[in-house]
Structure 1
Amino acid sequence: MKLSILVPAYNEGKTIERILKKLTEIQLASSVDREIIVVNDCSKDNTESVVTNFIRLNPSVEIQYVAHAVNQGKGAALHTGIQKATGDYLIVQDADLEYDPEEFNILLKPVLDGFADVVYGSRFVGGNAHRILFFWHTIGNKFLTFMSNMFTNLNLTDMETCYKLFRTDIIKGIDLKEKRFGFEPEITAKISRIPGIRIYEVGISYYGRTYEEGKKINWKDGVRAIYCIIRYGLFG
């Protein structure tokens, strides 16, 4: 089995080298190969030079690099990465340090055991490490997940999580519209409608960062998420 790792990046020059190093060094299950797809969403910092230099110094690693000519948003970067993916499954890995690639095998287990087509990594279940940060962000995430579950009839605990593992042929067959953080409720609503799809959830760690450290999502994205939950929940 081959896993495509999608890395959307916008102004992540400070952290993306460490993420790429982790992604190349993690020990995946013995039957799993990997490809890394970095989509630079028109960063204004040194993201491009860091990535291209890493590729130059690591020629044995399968890394695709794509650069957007204009900034379009995380969702748009994921659309590009999905189009480029050649693996049997794909997973999203943010270019910051909030999620630990060492936990890919936790998400892969239900797939390798033959149970799952899609696996969500939840920051709100399990006994792994979680950085203590924003009260209202947590309330907001849980509220959005609750709203999403109402429309999808799923019982997820963390719809907004970055760690989503998909069977590639399934996600390639979905017509995705949202170009920013609306990707999360949109894809959740649309996969929930696929007959017979098997969705699992596992507990993961979360090493959140502050706005001073580079966090980008804000209240406007929360409002858009509510709109997306209603729009795609009602009309698909």
Structure 2
Amino acid sequence: MKKLSIIVPAYNEEETVGLFYDAFSKVESQMDVEPEIIFVDDGSKDKTLIELKKLQKEHEEVHYISFSKNFGKEAALYAGFQKATGDFIAVMDADLQDPPELLPKMLNVVEAGEYDAVATRRRDREGESKIRSFFARIFYKWITKFSSLELVDGARDFRVMTRQMIDSILLMNECERFSKGLFNWVGFSTYYISYENRERAAGTTSWSFWGLLKYAIEGFISFSTAPLSFVTATGVLTCIVAVLGTIAVVVRAIVFPHTSAFGWPSLVVIILFLSGTQLLSLGIIGRYLAEVYLEVKHRPIYIIKDER
């Protein structure tokens, strides 16, 4: 019998980890695989670890990894991939926004051999704020347009993958990780399943708008050099405008030698424009340098405090 490893990142999910296991138990009999559930406690500040220890004592297929502090969901996924021993590996959230009842269908598609992964996408964003939905759509549109990735709008981390695909992902041990991009970058054929958006089963999300925005920026920088091209284009355009402006001033002085100058307001506006352009350019370049700076330190992606 083949083995299915399910990676479940959990941060302050004391109310949902038990509900997740109960929901999974209802569909376990529909799959002809040996299950392995790996919860990754990402430095939770509530009783998540206590609940995981209870589950682990009661069910032999349950395992957990507990970080020494909050390293982020990406680190949790990476740790889970390294720990997983299954022939197939699934990624799911503990809050039940990823329907466990889809697992049998997803697993059947992968086992058939035509696809290396089955991913999910939300058919709608019902229950999500309009502002968050707007920026999410913009992000998916832009990263697809300005990078080598082809991300599907509404795509979730919830997916089932082959061992070969996971081994390929593990070859990329970068610190600043963006899993949706990594899943796409390694290639392999992926089949998408759509489903209606679901609310959390309990608790509250740890993702704020600014946290998601930061995550989106990191993902964009990890897989696109378009901002650097924008800086170059802005510099070229500014030089062209400056040359044209110089020509205009010289011609004006020759044709109308006795007219007054444009005055200091025009000069101030020009200085502010150029200063803003320079600061924007430095900010973009600095962001890329920051990514390099973090990578060259070679710090561990996560530190384990307890596991079983």
Q: Aligned pair 1:142/2:141, yes or no?
A: no
2:206 to 216, 220, 224: 216
User: Does the 8 Å contact 2:7/2:38 carry over to 1?
Assistant: yes
Counterpart code for 1:49 = I
The amino acid that maps onto 1:135 is K
Which residue pairs with 1:93 in the alignment? 92
Which residue number corresponds to residue 203 of structure 1?
194
TM-aligned CA deviation for residue 86 of structure 1? 0.7
Q: Which amino acid aligns with 1:116?
A: Y
Relative to its length, the structure with more helix (as a share) is: 2
Alignment of structure 1 residues 165-204 onto 2, 5 Å: 165-174=160-169, 175-177=172-174, 183-191=178-186, 194=187, 197-204=188-195
Cα offset, 1:156, TM superposition:
2.0
Taking structure 1 as the reference length, the TM-score comes to 0.81
Name the count of aligned residue pairs.
221
Q: CA deviation at 1:178?
A: 5.0
Q: 1:148 to 1:63 in 2, by over 3 A?
A: same
SS of equivalent to 1:23? helix
1-side partners of 2:79 and 2:61: how far apart?
17
Task: Work out the CA distance in 2 between the residues paired with 1:169 and 1:103.
Answer: 22
Is 1:231 matched up with 2:231? no
Amino acid at match of 1:202: I
Task: Determine the C-alpha separation between the residues in 2 that align with 1:73 and 1:102.
Answer: 27
- Aligned AA (1:105): P
- Cα offset for 1:173? 2.5
Q: Are the equivalent residues in 1 in contact too, given 2:150–2:184 (CA < 8 A)? A: no
Report the equivalent of 1:44. 45
What is the 5 A alignment of 1:153-172? 154=150, 156-159=152-155, 161-172=156-167
Secondary structure, counterpart of 2:28 in structure 1 = coil
Could you tell me how far apart the structure 1 residues matched to 2:105 and 2:220 are?
Answer: 28
| One-letter code aligned to 1:216 | S
Q: Normalising by structure 2, what TM-score?
A: 0.64
Displacement after TM superposition at 1:153 (Å):
5.2
Displacement, 1:98?
A: 1.7
Contact 2:41 2:48 in 1 (8 A): yes
Amino acid at match of 1:44: K
Distance change >3 Å, CA 55–CA 223, structure 1 → 2: closer
2:69 maps to 1:79? no
Aligned residue in 2 for 1:133: 128
- 1:48 deviates by 1.0
Q: Between Structure 1 and Structure 2, whose CA radius of gyration is higher?
A: 2
Q: 1:67 and 1:30, CA in 2 relative to 1: closer, same or farther beyond 3 A?
A: closer
| Secondary structure in structure 1 of the residue aligned to 2:152 | coil
CA distance in 2, matches of 1:222, 1:188: 20
- Give the partner amino acid of 2:148: T
2:90 alignment partner AA: I
Structure 2 Cα separation of the partners of residues 108 and 142 of structure 1: 28
How far, CA to CA, are the matches of 2:29 and 2:175 in structure 1? Answer: 31
How much does 1:234 deviate? 4.8
Partner SS, residue 156 of structure 1? coil
Query: Secondary structure, in 3 states, of the residue corresponding to 1:173?
Result: helix
Q: Relative to structure 1, is the Cα distance of residues 67 and 153 closer, same or farther in structure 2, using a 3 angstrom cutoff?
A: closer
Q: Is the 8 A contact 1:35 1:87 kept in 2?
A: yes
CA gap of 1:132–1:77, structure 2 versus 1, over 3 A, is: same
Amino acid at match of 2:194: G
CA, structure 1 residues 231+140, in 2 after alignment: closer, same or farther (shift >3 Å)? same
In 1, the alpha carbon distance for the partners of 2:76 and 2:183 equals: 17
Taking structure 1 as reference, are residues 217 and 184 closer, same or farther at Cα in structure 2, changes over 3 Å only? farther
Aligned to 2:62: 63
